[in-house]
Amino acid sequence: MSDEPNTQLLEVRDMYAGYLDFDILRGVNLEVHPGEIVCVIGPNGAGKSTVFRAVYGLISVRKGSVIFDGADITNSTPQDVLRAGIAIVPQLRSVFPQMTVLENLEMGLYLERDRDRIQERIEVVFGLFPRLRDRAKQRIGTMSGGEQRMLEIGRALLLEPKLIMMDEPSAGLAPSITKMIFGHIERLNAEIGLTVLMIEQNARQGLEASHRGYVLELGQNTYEGTGQELIDNPEVRRAFLGGR
């Protein structure tokens, strides 16, 4: 993992957001520096996914701001957030199961008209994930959950994002496959400086893979620190890591 830089790529300041007239988030603050992996943990209903939806423009921010790469993107549309350089890997599968790996990747660049550019970006992804190259003509619906998640990460990388937000990257995966996916995330961070903000229910593995982390409870920050500091925190261990 790289050393923590001093500049902020993403900063969420005093965010209030929710649904209808009810705020799920009540003053959330977090930041992500270039080249970091940052993990947000907390109980169900704490507001973790709401943070992602608010940053990505899927719900309105009632108060506070979202600053990305020096620009205020608060309440921007998802298209504008993507254009600014934030890609998202959703919790629910977003692949097209009847299409091949290659066709799924091509769909990730459906707005790109330059065929050479499309091929160039796909070759970069195949270089990062050789297994996807080996299975380029295989229908994704016949592949494992881990391989499908790998494809989703690869498809997000096609757009050369400055930040990838991952919603529960281990969701629905067996423990051995979860370990593999976190290994890929750490490898991409080390090799290409991939910056990641993730929500993760598997708190221990998420924090072990991360430079820093945040704990949300009832829509507010309760703890923050390096991944190891949170793992070592007795209150965090007791509440979220199944230990004393």
What is residue 85's predicted lDDT score, i.e. its pLDDT?
95
Do residue 73 and residue 108 come from a single domain? no
Instruction: Say whether both 134 and 15 belong to one domain.
Output: no
pLDDT of residue 244: 53
Q: Is residue 90 part of a domain?
A: no
Residues 109, 166, single domain; the answer is no
Q: Tell me: do 64 and 168 sit in the same domain.
A: yes
User: Do 214 and 221 form a contact (C-beta atoms < 8 A)?
Assistant: yes
Handedness of CA 219, 221, 222, 224 (dihedral sign): positive
Domain end among 160, 184, 212: 160
Q: What is the pLDDT of residues 92-146, one digit of tens each?
A: 777 888 999 999 998 888 767 788 888 999 999 999 999 999 999 999 999 988 8
| Domain hosting residue 155, numbered range | 95-160
On whether both 75 and 133 belong to a single domain, the answer is no
- φ/ψ (deg, to 5) at 197: -115, 120
Residue 25, token pair as written in the block: 């988030």
pLDDT, position 3: 46
pLDDT in tens, the chain (244 residues): 444 445 899 999 999 999 988 999 999 999 999 999 999 999 988 999 999 999 999 999 999 999 999 999 999 999 999 999 999 998 777 788 899 999 999 888 876 778 888 899 999 999 999 999 999 999 999 998 889 989 999 999 998 999 999 999 888 888 888 888 999 999 999 999 999 999 998 899 999 999 999 999 999 999 999 999 999 999 999 988 875 5
CA distance 80 to 85: 9
- What angle do the packed helices 145-157 and 175-192 form, to 10 degrees? 20
Residue 167 lies in a domain: yes
Q: Can you say how many angstroms the Cα of residue 190 is from the centroid of all Cα atoms in its chain?
A: 16
What single DSSP character describes residue 142? Answer: G
What is the CATH number for 167? 3.40.50.300
Same domain? 122 vs 4: no
Q: What is the pLDDT of residue 243?
A: 58
pTM over 0.95: no
